[in-house]
Amino acid sequence: MDLNRFNPRQREAITHVGSPLLVLAGAGSGKTSVITHKIAWLIQEAGIPARHITAVTFTNKASREMRERIGNAARKDQIRGLTVSTFHTFGLNLLRREAAYAGLKSGFSILDAEDAKSVLSDLLKRESIDDRDVTARVQHTISQWKNDGLSPEQAILQATEPQSVLAASAYVEYDRYLKACNAVDFDDLILRPVELFRHKPDLLTKWQAKIRYLLVDEYQDTNGIQYELVKRLTQISGALTIVGDDDQSIYAWRGARPENLNELNVDFPTLKVIKLEQNYRSTRVILETANALIANNPHIFEKTLWSAKGFGDRIEILPTKTDEDEAERIASMILERRLNQKKQFSNFAVLYRSNHQARILEFKLQHFKIPYKLSGGTSFFARSEIRDLMSYLRILINPDDDNALLRIINVPRRRIGPTTLEVLGRYAQERNQPLYACISEMGMTSRLDPEAARRLSQFQELIEIARRDLLVGQGMQAIEALIDGINYRGWLSDQSSSEPMAERRWGNVLQLLEALKKDLKNDDDDPETAEETDDDTAIEAAIRKLVLRDILEREEDEDDSDRVQLATLHAAKGLEFPDVFLMGVEEELLPHKNSMEAETIEEERRLMYVGITRAKQQLTITYAKKRKQFGEFLETTPSRFLDELPDEHVHWHGRDELDPEVARQKGQDTLSALAAMLKGESV
């Protein structure tokens, strides 16, 4: 393998074997190339078969990129059997293979955050607690316990305060519910495999033999249970490469522990550390500014990024009168630079701390016909009300869908409690049958009190009536009758924080029904389809189209079309752009008010560092002197982080320039002139 294009540190990281390795990879230092070529080197030079190599990261996007790059670095036949996945996909695959060990039957359901919240809400109502905030806190606490590797029994022993005692009690019941329903939640995808490894040494030995080399990307984002998974799989062999950067640890709010990097020295005494400090992305000005900022944080490992790309332009700091002025100036500068510097819209990114900051900016971009792409938006099909209705549709065409049944059996609430579902789940497991098929069996009804059996029977009758109507060709009428029959609109009203919110959610339901009608009409108008299908299969086909549409929407979110990228700082991690705007750099925004109260300023500084290091050539930092909140303008304070930037690398607009009002008018004139120039141009 030719490694001449890599620098000495990168080559050393690629070829190192024989002891655990930590690669401290600074922003833009080529870590993805290093980890992918190391995999190819392990196969081609170290002689490790691909089927015995596993690489894990955190996002599907990162996993796909890694897989594609490995495909370019090694032949297809060489990488056959290689595992490249997210942590959670790895855990899911392990549980599927070892379901019997884990006490799961095949086809077990996975509850997402919304599903879990609904279950916990019902469990807490049994304790006369009907408070969404309490439910959210309990859910967060249980998730934290799972991320720390704690079982319900351990949580009970640890809980001392009233809130934690309540959460621990709910954790016990929640765990009982999951086991009864043959289900796991998202956190279980890591916790359950680790529990298997803790208690079944033979199984751990089997997987240690299977994984002869493990690589972990973005290690600073691991939580406690993820670190334990890595440690159990590799501590004996030491066949481990970890890539991370403590300066880019920005996910403590979801359980990430940057201190995991420090613990490597203790758990792996022969650990070798290689620092990748040469940055291939940004100019010297941007890197030296980022270094100066992050130097205010304590460090586990010291490193200093450097670049051979040249000095570059100074960073611009732009105060504006209001948040509306801020959005307008950003739009103006994008248009100006696009024309004067011959840039594409896709060269620009606007980054911010919180999603709400994008609203005014979106209006300004729309007004001046600047195309943009908003990261982090909720897919139509990810909305709770749409997932409810899709689950009903799935049940209508496939009653054996346990996951869909579990989602909607108490939506709207039917007082089918955890105990009833536990009995149903246990009975279905004994019979090795889907949950729905077992509801009316005599053996099942005999285990329940008459009222519980009646409620289950009523639910099944509701579904069966709709299914019969489908079979006789009533199609949409059957679906609409079902929605009316369960008073789903009333349920949305009860579950929404306000009436306008309820109406918006009901509007989404109507949009889904209209999409179904349109697809069914198109099928009816197609002679080939009409002759080959009855109404039932037409509806099934329509649902498939909706699912496909969702997939296409997600692909659109990742396209490379010529649009300005809008993203939160969290969503921007791993991305890079020639020209970056970092907006709203004010106290209580960046650093965020919550972090100031919780004294987590260091993570906010790392977040600012991530924002700065997204820029390749130009960086503009903006803030508003007044920001509108609740209908009135409030004075703001520039972020403390601005004072930590080196004076020689920044240019403050307005300090040695025109009067601010004159400058504002000049900016508006420029914007108008540019917009006029673009009139008629396709954007």
Active-site choice (54, 248, 283, 636): 248
Both tokens of 425, joined, read 């789940």
Q: What is the pLDDT of residue 10?
A: 95
Residue in this structure with the two tokens 């925004």, named with its chain if needed: 589
CA distance 417 to 81: 44
Whether 146 and 225 have beta carbons less than 8 Å apart is answered as yes
Is 218 one of the annotated active-site residues of the chain? Answer: yes
Is 401 one of the annotated active-site residues of the chain? Answer: no
What separation in angstroms does the CA of 562 have from each of 40, 64, 373, 581?
A: 34, 22, 9, 17
Q: What is the pLDDT of residue 125?
A: 87
What separation in angstroms does the CA of 510 have from each of 432, 505, 517, 550, 668?
A: 37, 9, 10, 17, 42
Active-site choice (9, 31, 309, 616): 31
Is 519 one of the annotated active-site residues of the chain? Answer: no
∠ at Cα 490 (489, 491), nearest 5°?
90
Task: List the alpha helices (DSSP H) in 8-104.
Answer: 8-15, 31-44, 60-73, 87-97
Q: What is the pLDDT of residue 171?
A: 95
Q: In what order do the strands lie in the sheet with 83-86?
A: 83-86, 53-57, 213-216, 240-244, 21-25, 272-276
Is 320 one of the annotated active-site residues of the chain? Answer: no
Question: How many angstroms separate the first and last alpha carbons of the chain?
Answer: 45
Paired with 581 in beta bridges are 350, 620
Q: At what angle do helices 162-180 and 132-147 cross, to 10 degrees?
A: 80
Active-site choice (146, 364, 614, 625): 614
Q: What is the pLDDT of residue 258?
A: 74
Cβ neighbours for 479, distance < 8 A, ≥ 6 positions apart: 392, 393, 396, 466, 513, 516, 539
**Backbone phi and psi for residue 306, each to the nearest 5 degrees, phi listed first:** -140, 160
Active-site choice (122, 185, 188, 217): 217
Q: What is the pLDDT of residue 254?
A: 67
Whether 381 and 599 have beta carbons less than 8 Å apart is answered as no
CA distance 251 to 253: 5
- Three-state secondary-structure class, residue 416: coil
Task: List the alpha helices (DSSP H) in 626-683.
Answer: 660-678
Q: H/E element holding 352? A: strand 348-352
Whether 183 and 192 have beta carbons less than 8 Å apart is answered as no
Is 202 one of the annotated active-site residues of the chain? Answer: no
Over the chain (683 residues), the average pLDDT of each successive run of 10 is: 88 94 90 91 93 89 84 85 90 89 80 82 86 89 92 91 92 89 88 95 95 92 91 92 83 72 88 92 93 88 85 93 92 91 92 86 84 70 82 82 85 88 88 88 89 92 89 80 92 85 88 80 46 48 57 48 89 89 93 82 91 94 88 89 94 67 58 57 41
Q: List, as one string, the DSSP characters of 264-320.
A: HHHH-TT-EEEEE-EESSS-HHHHHHHHHHHTTS--SS----EESS---PPEEEEEE
Is 212 one of the annotated active-site residues of the chain? Answer: no
Active-site choice (11, 15, 32, 343): 32
Residue in this structure with the two tokens 């077992």, named with its chain if needed: 438
Active-site choice (173, 187, 218, 523): 218
